[in-house]
Structure formats: C-alpha cells, structure tokens
C-alpha cells in the first residue's frame, strides 16, 4: 500500500523544532540530542521530501494461555494464586513506514491491546475487567548516510525497536532489559523485544565494518523509576564466517540522570538512610529504602544507587554452515546461542556482595523442525541471584535495594521467599508463518513472566517461582 | 491458600502437557488455529507477493439528549446531553485469492452522563481506544458468494443486518437474567468488531449457515466461550432464519459461571431480612410442607431465536422507492429454554419479540426504520448484580434501597428523605415492571457522495448511560413508555 503525503513542514520549521525543545531539556540531554541532530543534513531542500511514499505495516492477533503451576501463592492479605489462571488478549497495530528519500526513513504507528488483570483466586477473579492499553509501535526517523541499500551506517532517533541478538526467543537480552540494582530479569511470551515494536527511546548509531558491527545507543528510561534517566550502551558483534558470531557490550545504566538525587540518593540530597518500609513481618536489611546499615549499631550506611554498569558477552553458532548444505533442515535449525551478563560491576557491601550472584547466563538451541516450524527453540537460563524478583520497591519507592524475602509473609506463612528456587528457567518456543502473513506461535515456559497482579491489587512479582512452575501460551497473528 | 509453596504435581511433564490440552479452553484456541493453518498452508509463498492493502478510515461526531427518563430516584438523566467524537483507521490486506485480513484501531472521546447538577459539575471527557478489527478470513469459492469462509480473531458479525437498533437477541445480552441490549448505532449494528473468536460460514444455494464460537468480553464472567449456530434461507424477496446459542457453554472459570462457593459468593441478606424472591443473590428457596426447597442457578443457558424479512416492494413494485424501503422484518427469541422455579418459571416472560418496518423514504434517506419491541420480563433491565455478584437473579427493591414505607395518607411509598417520596409502583417498583415492556426506535440515515453519512435516531430502547461521575451504573435509562431520547451523528469515511 502506498499513499502520498503532501503536507510536509517547511525546512525552516524543521530547523526550529529542535531548538524549541532544547530550552526545556537538561543541559546534558540537550547536548546529547544536539550532537545527534547535527549529524542530520537539515539543510536538505524541500524537494528532497517530495513524492515520498508510505508503506503500511500491520498486525492483529489473538492470544490465550494458562498458568499451569505457580508455587508462590502468597501475597499477604490478598491471595494472588495464579494456578490455573486463564490469560487472554487480542490486539491490533498499524505502522506507517515513510520513505522520505534514499537516505531518510521514518516510521510511526499505534496499537491497542485488550488486556485484563490476572484472575487470581475466585474471590479476585470475579473482579476482573477488560481494559484497553494503547501504545506507540514506533515513532522514529532513520538516516542512512550512504543510502538504504545494503547500508553500512545508520542513525536512528526517536522511539524504535532494538535487539542485539535475533536468535533469542525469550530468555536473555540482559543488557537492554531490567534494572542493575537490583538485578531483576524480564522475559515472557513474545515480549516487545521479540517483536518489531519499539523498546528504546533515544538514539541509535549503527556502523558495519566488514564482519564487525557496532551499536551505540543513548536510551531514556521509560519503564522503571527513576524515569527519563539516560543510559549509554555499546554493543559489538563480530561474525566469523557464516557459522559463528560473538558479541559483547556494556550498558552504562542511568549514567545521565535527569534528577540525580532520585537516581543516587544521599544525605546531601535530603534522604534519610534510616528510612525503612514499615509493616514487614520480619526484620531484614532489605527493609531499608535507600541505604543499608554496615554495622549492627546502625551508625554507618552503604548508600545504593540505580546507576550501574552491565556487561554482556554472547555467541551464536550455526553448525549447518560447517557442513555441505542444510538438507531438509530449516534455516534456523540446529543453531546454538548463548549469553552471559554481569548486572552491576560494582559490589555494595551488605546488599550486593558477590558478582557471581549477579551473573545470569542462558543457552539456547534451535531443535530441528525440518521446515514444519520456522523455529523450535529451547532456552535455559541460570541466575544464582539472592534478589527477590519483585520490582515493587523500584516502582513505588524508587528504591535500588531489593525486596525483602519476607514480602507478603505473615505469622501464618513465615517461610521466606526462596530466592534460589527460581535460579533455573527454561522456555520452549515455536512459530510458523503460513502464506507469508499468518503466524502461529506458542510457548511452554518457566520464565520471568509477570501477570501484573489481580484486579485492584497490582503486583510486580514473577508468576513462576520454582523449577516446576510453568505456563503455556498460544497466539495466532495476522500481519502484513 | 494459606501456604507458601505448593508441591509439584505428581505427573510427568508429558502428562502436564496433556492436561493443558484437555483443560477447558485450550482446545478452543488450538483447533480453529490448526484448522486455519491447514487451510492456509497450501498457499504458495509467491502468493504473498504484491500484497494489496486497502486503508479505510472513519471519523464522526455524535450528539443527543435524553428527553425523558421516568425513574429518576437514584440517577436523574432527564435533559442530559451526550456527545462523542471518534476516529478509526482499518487496513484490509488481500494476501491471496483465499486469504484476507483486516486490522485497525480507533479512539473515541466519551464521557459519563451528566446526571444531577452535583455530578455534572465534575464531568470529564476521556478518550477510549478500541480495536476496530483484528481478524483474518479464509474463503473458498467465489469471494462474493463463498461456499466456505472461516474467520478468526476479533471481527464484526450481525446475523440480521435489517436490524437498526432492537433485536439481535441471540448474540446480544445475557440469559439468566435475560437482559436485552440496544442503543444508537451500537457495535453490533455497525461494521466494528463485536465478536472475539471464530466464525465458520457456509452457503449452499439459498441456504446459509454460520457457526460462531465467541469469547465473552462484555459482561462478567469474562472469557467464557459460547457456541452458536444460525441458519437462514434467503431469496430476493424473503428471508427466514433461526439459531441457537449455547451461552457460556465452555466456562473458563466454572466456579464463576455457576457460582456455588458460599465463601466467595455470599448472600447480602440473612433469611430473616428477605423481603422478595429477588433479594437473594444465588438461591431461590421455597418453603414447602416438607421443608425448604432450594433452587440454584447458573449463568449458562440456551437461547433460541428466529428472524425473517420480507420486501414488500415485490408486491408494489420499486417505483421511486429506495432499495430498503417497504421492508418488513422481525425477530423473536426464547432467552433461556430452561425454566427455574420461582424466578424464571414463566416462559412468556423470556420471549422478546420485535417488528421492524422500513418506511418509504423515496431515496431521500438510505433508510427510515421504525422498530417496535415487546418483552414481558417483570424485572428491571439492570445488570449490576450480575456484574458485582455474578448473580443470576435480577435486582430487587431492597437491593436499590427501595423498601416501601407507609406514608401519612396510608399509601406505600419509597422515601428518600424528608419531602422526597415516590409511589411504590411501576416503574419505581423494580420487581413488577410492565411499563418498560414496549420499546420503539426510529432510525434514519443518508449517505452523501459515498463518504459522508448523516444518521439520527429517536428511541425508547435499552440505552445505558453507564452512570455518572458518582458511580458506574448498569441499568437502562428508560423504564416507561413516556421515556425517549434523540441522537444524531455525522460521519466521514473512506
């Protein structure tokens, strides 16, 4: 589908827009964006944008599934028992990709998902309502200095999708998902990182130098508090022939804070290190919000910041390339891939003591599907974390200290959350595209899926908390 | 559950997968999906090239007013102004000669009812996004008259396109209680998705068949699946059809659809406080000489409906009349084939009937449709108990704080404080309502240059305002024959 756009802004207007925004932004933010903006040839004549075409991309889907086993059924007075919970959503999205010129491309679009809270126990299930979430699929423009055809360099600004490892179907992507302190992981069935839906707000420069590709990103935080802080990411990928690929990267998470006091609380910024969450069933060092005590007398404190450095290494191996021909195997079959991350290179005594407890690792393998499926991917993950995978304190208190393992506990259920019962995660994902535009996909997994809580009681905890927990999900999509 | 960790099931992994398959609901998604996959697979990859995408858009402004609403005890809608603006965009893609899809989204600016001045002063306008369509359709045979068509996703479906407002009983509304739904250009009468699930459509000569599997997304309990069949015979003059809807045939949480858990679904009143059969939430208890006889209910039920239309122009000739003029159409339904003692024991109170007629408009309008409905349900069309308590029993006077008192003249009244009392009679007595049995609607529309549509309606139908800024409500705004409202709409579409 092609449609012509006629009402474009004048070159003068285009030049003025960034200047207007500069006045409202922090100096560092403005400087970063200005540097990126200067890379664009804004002097391009109006005729550059004549006769542009728009291609519409869209998708609609219906998804259903069920949580078959969820071990941790305790949430204090409210029983968020997800066992047997039915999950369902339907959605549609529409994105226009605008071919502005040989060097410029823009994309914008919106989508809507019909969603609901988890059912929980019967007494909660009866309050479930259907709601509608609306979202931006993309809102970006991209500059290809040497043209789009077989490009080696591109610069993207706006709200755009980014993923450094396209082999991953569920687990992993540690560099771009989740906070550093506490090191909480995110995953789930076809999360936005797995689809061509925007997950980064900021800028992205990509350069290809033969077998080496580098990605430099400046990303604004829009999911977790403190909001709007900027992070710098660098990701490098080296292809060694068609069989092997290695990569690595670093994320300087929240290194450009918008409100430094929120990102790195301190006494000078007006925070009291003694502030604790009230009402927990048992005392625990993680009751504190901004600092943890270093001695029993409570005279010395270790302040904890949201800032942190993540590093990541990854590989992918396609053994088919080592042999002559793939036979009846599909193009993705037999691929082996893996990733390891360090969530925070710095130790904080008393709360983040060992780097080994902040190292998630995953391994994936595409089982042979012989063309019957496009992908049949089994992934497994190990993360020896001491952290309760619940980010409520980040959202509600902007705290970088993990949740106490006594969260939601009471005298009748005194056993703390078993932080090592969920060290292993796994996922079996499949998809098949039919007639070029219909996709059937599904997943059985014990991953970091979060339901969001039951009606009236939002939550931030994972639904799968022990090795034998799992759920399934099926999705039928139509796309063009 | 007052425990921390549950033990893993003592079944093998394969057993768990099998359990997932067998559990209700799983097959519902998987079977149609695999069926469609089988149908889609034969298409060659080349068929996906040169994709043809057509984009349709719609924008409109709508306004109207409730001119009279008799039951103003709790919410006074008299003179309330209603206004809405919306825009939607939908893309249709023809993947190949057999496979076609559509998806789109829209947003509408809407608001609560103004109600009384105190609520009206807090009124805000909100924007609600919605999905206009998200479906794909496989067609076998001629695309104009397919022998087989399978649609999957979120799609529009209307088994009786003659209906402008009243009717469509088979797929709209609940069974126990049998609440009817209608209003000005609702999703069911417009080309906007109203069904989430799958549709199998077949045609053999003048006979057409539809099987609809739909997930409940409007009224609680959510997600339950209903299975409906609709068959029809049609020629150029006459159409007749009938159908059955096994409403909530496959419940997702059976304990919600058939509420039995007395710790969750509690009764609001003790036995000594019961004043009427509608006071209980989930039971009907009849005292018999041998002791109390208890009847329990379910939200499940079976609906039957039949419909017809007759084009009287076959008798008079076309003349200067429009294509839709002089069409007579009708629908009758049985909402719940099973009678329940005490509450739903009179089958005649579960049979709505509607008759419609397209008044000759001589092409000045596309249509001018007058519809009349009769439905003898004695209770108020208010699904608050269903929504809040999963109750299959209608609201009672006591539920609405309408327990009668005797005033100084000896009359039974509903008192709302000093100087404010209402006669304890229809329509304020919500357990014995007769004045709302008749409904009517006059709807007209005119399309100009194929891109602008003006439509309007005067009606006394089942329009629900949704409540005011004070609280949500679930009742119809009209409860006597004197009640009515008007609504107009101007749309632009391409």
Q: What is the pLDDT of residue B142?
A: 82
The mean per-residue pLDDT over the stretch A368-383 comes to: 96
Nearest-angstrom CA–CA distance, A445 and A65: 11
| CB proximity under 8 Å: B 154-173 to A | 154
Q: Which two tokens stand for residue B458?
A: 């005067």
Task: Say if residue A382's pLDDT is above 90.
Answer: yes
Q: Which residues in A lie closer than 8 A to residue B195 (C-beta atoms)?
A: none
Chain B interface includes A136 (CB < 8 A): no
Identify the H or E element spanning A11. helix A11-22
Q: Which residues in A lie closer than 8 A to residue B128 (C-beta atoms)?
A: 132
Picking from A122, A125, A480, the nearest residue to B93 by CB comes out as A480
Q: Which residues in B lie closer than 8 A to residue A435 (C-beta atoms)?
A: 40-41, 43, 45, 47-48, 95-96, 99
> What percent of chain B clears pLDDT 70, i.e. is strictly above it?
90
Task: Say if residue B21's pLDDT is above 90.
Answer: no
Asked if B153 lies within 8 A of A418 by C-beta distance, the reply is no
A450: nearest Cα among A112, A228, A184, A166: A184
What single DSSP character describes residue A108? E
Task: Tell me the shortest Cα–Cα distance from A261 to chain B, in angstroms.
Answer: 35
Nearest-angstrom CA–CA distance, A401 and A418: 18
Whole-structure pTM value: 0.86
Asked if B6 lies within 8 A of A83 by C-beta distance, the reply is yes
Of the ranges A126-135, A407-416, B347-356, which is most confident?
B347-356
Task: Say if residue A24's pLDDT is above 50.
Answer: no
Give per-residue pLDDT as tens, B156-199.
Answer: 999 999 999 999 999 999 999 999 999 999 999 998 999 999 99
Task: Tell me the shortest Cα–Cα distance from A285 to chain B, in angstroms.
Answer: 22
Q: What is the pLDDT of residue A79?
A: 62
Do A222 and A258 form a contact (C-beta atoms < 8 A)?
Answer: no
Locate the chain B residue with the closest alpha carbon to A94.
B104
Locate the chain B residue with the closest alpha carbon to A113.
B131
Asked if B103 lies within 8 A of A92 by C-beta distance, the reply is yes
Q: Which two tokens stand for residue A319?
A: 């053994």
Chain A interface includes B248 (CB < 8 A): no
Q: Which residues in A lie closer than 8 A to residue B36 (C-beta atoms)?
A: 438, 476
Q: What average pLDDT does chain B have? A: 89
Asked if A128 lies within 8 A of B2 by C-beta distance, the reply is no
Chain B interface includes A270 (CB < 8 A): no
Exposure b/e, B117-131, CB count within 10 A at least 16 = b: eebeeeeeeeeebbb
Chain A interface includes B22 (CB < 8 A): no
Asked if B51 lies within 8 A of A92 by C-beta distance, the reply is no
Give per-residue pLDDT as tens, B293-309.
Answer: 999 999 999 999 999 99
B464 has which bridge partners?
A: B476
Pairing type for strands B291-296 and B301-311 reads unpaired
Picking from B16, B154, B253, the nearest residue to A125 by CB comes out as B253
| CB proximity under 8 Å: B 138-157 to A | 152-154
Chain B interface includes A384 (CB < 8 A): no
The 3-state DSSP class for residue A144 equals coil
Between residues A47 and B50, the one the model is more confident about: B50
Task: Say if residue A244's pLDDT is above 90.
Answer: yes
Q: Which residues in A lie closer than 8 A to residue B129 (C-beta atoms)?
A: 112, 132-134
Chain A interface includes B472 (CB < 8 A): no
CB pairs under 8 A between A and B: 209
Task: Say if residue A37's pLDDT is above 70.
Answer: no
Asked if B128 lies within 8 A of A79 by C-beta distance, the reply is no
Chain B interface includes A130 (CB < 8 A): yes
Give per-residue pLDDT as tens, A439-471.
Answer: 999 999 999 999 999 887 888 999 999 999 999
Task: Say if residue A47's pLDDT is above 70.
Answer: no
Give per-residue pLDDT as tens, B67-106.
Answer: 999 999 999 999 999 999 999 999 998 888 899 999 999 9
Nearest-angstrom CA–CA distance, B139 and A383: 49
Residue B52: pLDDT band with limits 50, 70, 90? confident
Picking from B6, B101, B105, the nearest residue to A478 by CB comes out as B101
Asked if B4 lies within 8 A of A93 by C-beta distance, the reply is no
Task: Tell me the shortest Cα–Cα distance from A168 to chain B, in angstroms.
Answer: 23
Nearest-angstrom CA–CA distance, A287 and A278: 8
φ, ψ of residue A255 in degrees (nearest 5): -75, -15
Nearest-angstrom CA–CA distance, A240 and A238: 6
DSSP conformation letters of B397-419: TTTTT---EE-TTS-EEEE-STT
Task: Tell me the shortest Cα–Cα distance from A125 to chain B, in angstroms.
Answer: 8
Give per-residue pLDDT as tens, A83-94.
Answer: 999 999 999 999
Q: Which residues in A lie closer than 8 A to residue B53 (C-beta atoms)?
A: 1, 56, 58, 480
Asked if A418 lies within 8 A of B131 by C-beta distance, the reply is no
Task: Say if residue A14's pLDDT is above 60.
Answer: no
Chain A interface includes B314 (CB < 8 A): no
The mean per-residue pLDDT over the stretch B128-134 comes to: 93
Interface probe for B, chosen from A4, A443, A478, A479 (most Cβ of B below 10 Å), is A478
B76 has which bridge partners?
A: none
| CB proximity under 8 Å: A 39-98 to B | 56, 58-62, 64, 66, 68-69, 71-74, 79, 81, 83-84, 86, 88, 90-94
A233 has which bridge partners?
A: A217, A251
Lowest mean pLDDT among A277-286, A443-452, B426-435: A277-286
Do A260 and A271 form a contact (C-beta atoms < 8 A)?
Answer: no
Task: Tell me the shortest Cα–Cα distance from A325 to chain B, in angstroms.
Answer: 22
Q: Which residues in B lie closer than 8 A to residue A408 (C-beta atoms)?
A: none
Task: Say if residue A1's pLDDT is above 80.
Answer: no
Residue B419: pLDDT band with limits 50, 70, 90? confident
Residue A16: pLDDT band with limits 50, 70, 90? very low
**Residue B414, number of CB atoms within 10 A of its CB:** 20
Task: Say if residue B286's pLDDT is above 70.
Answer: yes
The mean per-residue pLDDT over the stretch B145-166 comes to: 95
Q: Which residues in B lie closer than 8 A to residue A64 (C-beta atoms)?
A: 25, 28-29
Do A83 and A69 form a contact (C-beta atoms < 8 A)?
Answer: yes
The mean per-residue pLDDT over the stretch A248-265 comes to: 96
The mean per-residue pLDDT over the stretch A108-121 comes to: 91
ipTM of the complex: 0.81
Residue A41: pLDDT band with limits 50, 70, 90? very low
Between residues A341 and B42, the one the model is more confident about: A341
């Amino acid at each position: 589908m092609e449609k012509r756009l006629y009402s474009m802004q004048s070159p003068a207007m285009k030049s003025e827009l960034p200047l207007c925004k500069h006045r409202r932004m922090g100096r560092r933010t403005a400087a970063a964006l200005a540097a990126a903006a200067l890379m664009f040839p804004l002097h391009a004549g109006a005729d550059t944008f004549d006769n542009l075409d728009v291609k519409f991309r869209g998708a609609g889907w219906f998804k259903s599934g069920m949580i078959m086993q969820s071990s941790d059924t305790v949430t204090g007075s409210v029983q968020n028992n997800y066992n047997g919970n039915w999950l369902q959503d339907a959605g549609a999205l529409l994105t226009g990709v605008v071919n502005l010129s040989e060097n410029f491309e823009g994309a914008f679009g919106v989508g809507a998902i019909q969603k609901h809270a988890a059912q929980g126990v019967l007494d909660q299930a009866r309050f479930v309502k259907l709601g509608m979430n609306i979202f931006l699929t993309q809102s970006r423009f991209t500059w290809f200095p040497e043209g789009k055809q077989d490009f080696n360099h591109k610069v993207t600004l706006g709200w755009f999708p980014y993923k450094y490892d396209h082999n991953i179907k569920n687990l992993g992507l540690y560099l771009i998902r989740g906070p550093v302190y506490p090191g909480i992981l995110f995953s789930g069935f076809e999360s936005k990182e797995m689809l061509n839906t925007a997950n980064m707000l900021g800028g992205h420069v990509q350069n290809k130098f033969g077998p080496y590709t580098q990605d430099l990103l400046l990303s604004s935080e829009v999911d977790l508090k403190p909001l709007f802080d900027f992070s710098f990411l660098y990701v490098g990928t080296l292809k060694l022939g068609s069989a092997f690929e290695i990569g690595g990267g670093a994320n300087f998470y929240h290194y450009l804070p918008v409100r430094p006091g929120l990102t790195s609380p301190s006494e000078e910024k007006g925070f009291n290190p003694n502030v604790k969450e009230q009402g927990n069933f048992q005392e625990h060092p993680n009751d504190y919000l901004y600092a943890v005590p270093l001695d029993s007398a409570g005279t010395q404190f270790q302040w904890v910041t949201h800032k942190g450095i993540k590093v990541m290494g990854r590989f992918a191996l396609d053994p088919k390339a080592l042999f002559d021909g793939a036979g009846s195997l599909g193009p993705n079959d037999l691929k082996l891939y893996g990733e390891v991350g360090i969530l925070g290179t710095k130790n904080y005594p008393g709360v983040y003591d060992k780097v080994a407890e902040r190292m998630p690792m995953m391994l994936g393998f595409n089982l042979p599907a012989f063309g019957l499926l496009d992908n049949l991917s089994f992934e497994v993950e190990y993360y020896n974390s001491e952290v309760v995978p619940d980010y409520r304190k980040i959202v509600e208190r902007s705290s970088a200290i993990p949740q106490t393992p006594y969260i939601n506990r009471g005298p009748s259920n005194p056993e703390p959350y078993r932080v090592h019962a969920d060290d292993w995660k796994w996922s079996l994902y499949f998809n098949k595209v039919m007639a070029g535009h219909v996709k059937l996909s599904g997943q059985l997994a014990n991953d970091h899926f979060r339901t969001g809580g039951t009606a009236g009681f939002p939550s931030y905890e994972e639904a799968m908390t022990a090795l034998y927990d799992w759920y399934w999900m099926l999705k039928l999509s139509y796309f063009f | 559950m007052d425990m921390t960790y549950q033990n893993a099931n003592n079944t093998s992994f394969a057993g768990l997968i099998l359990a997932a398959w067998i559990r209700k609901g799983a097959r519902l998604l998987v079977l149609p999906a695999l069926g469609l996959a089988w149908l889609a697979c034969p298409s060659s990859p080349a068929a996906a090239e040169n994709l043809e995408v057509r984009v349709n858009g719609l924008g409109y402004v709508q306004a109207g007013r409730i001119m009279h609403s008799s039951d103003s005890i709790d919410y006074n809608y008299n003179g309330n102004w209603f206004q809405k603006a919306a825009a939607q965009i939908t893309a249709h893609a023809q993947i190949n000669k057999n496979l076609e899809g559509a998806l789109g989204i829209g947003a509408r600016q809407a608001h609560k009812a103004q109600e009384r001045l105190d609520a009206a002063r807090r009124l805000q306008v909100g924007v609600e996004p919605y999905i206009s369509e998200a479906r794909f359709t496989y067609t076998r045979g001629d695309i104009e008259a397919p022998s087989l068509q399978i649609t999957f996703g979120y799609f529009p479906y209307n088994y009786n396109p003659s209906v402008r407002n009243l009717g469509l009983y088979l797929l709209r509304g609940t069974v126990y209680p049998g609440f009817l739904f209608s209003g000005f250009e609702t999703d069911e009468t417009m080309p906007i998705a109203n069904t989430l699930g799958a549709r199998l459509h077949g045609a053999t000569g003048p006979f057409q068949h539809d099987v609809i599997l739909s997930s409940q997304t409007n009224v609680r309990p959510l997600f339950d699946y209903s299975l409906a069949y609709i068959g029809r015979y049609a020629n150029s003059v006459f159409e007749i059809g009938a159908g059955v809807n096994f409403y909530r045939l496959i419940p997702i949480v059976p304990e919600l659809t058939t509420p039995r858990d007395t710790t969750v679904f509690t009764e609001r009143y003790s036995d000594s406080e019961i004043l009427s059969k509608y006071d209980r939430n989930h039971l009907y208890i009849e005292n018999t000489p041998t002791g109390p006889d208890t009847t329990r209910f379910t939200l499940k039920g079976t609906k039957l409906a039949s419909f017809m239309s007759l084009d009287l122009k076959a008798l008079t000739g076309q003349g200067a009349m429009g294509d839709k003029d002089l069409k007579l159409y009708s629908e009758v339904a049985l909402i719940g084939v099973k009678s329940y003692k005490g509450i739903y024991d009179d089958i005649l109170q579960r049979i709505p009937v509607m008759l419609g007629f397209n008044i000759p408009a001589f092409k000045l309008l596309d249509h001018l449709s007058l519809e009349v409905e009769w439905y003898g349900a004695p209770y108020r069309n208010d699904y608050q108990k269903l929504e809040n308590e999963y109750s299959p029993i209608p609201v009672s006077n006591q539920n609405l704080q309408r327990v009668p008192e005797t005033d100084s003249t000896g009359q039974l009244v509903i008192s709302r404080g000093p100087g404010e009392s209402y006669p304890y009679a229809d329509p304020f007595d919500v357990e014995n309502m007769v004045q709302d049995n008749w409904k009517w609607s006059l709807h007209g529309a005119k399309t100009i240059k194929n891109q602008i549509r003006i439509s309007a309606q005067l009606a006394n139908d089942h329009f629900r305002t949704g409540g005011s800024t004070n609280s949500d409500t679930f009742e119809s705004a009209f409860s006597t024959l004197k009640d009515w409202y008007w609504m107009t709409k101007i749309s632009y579409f391409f």
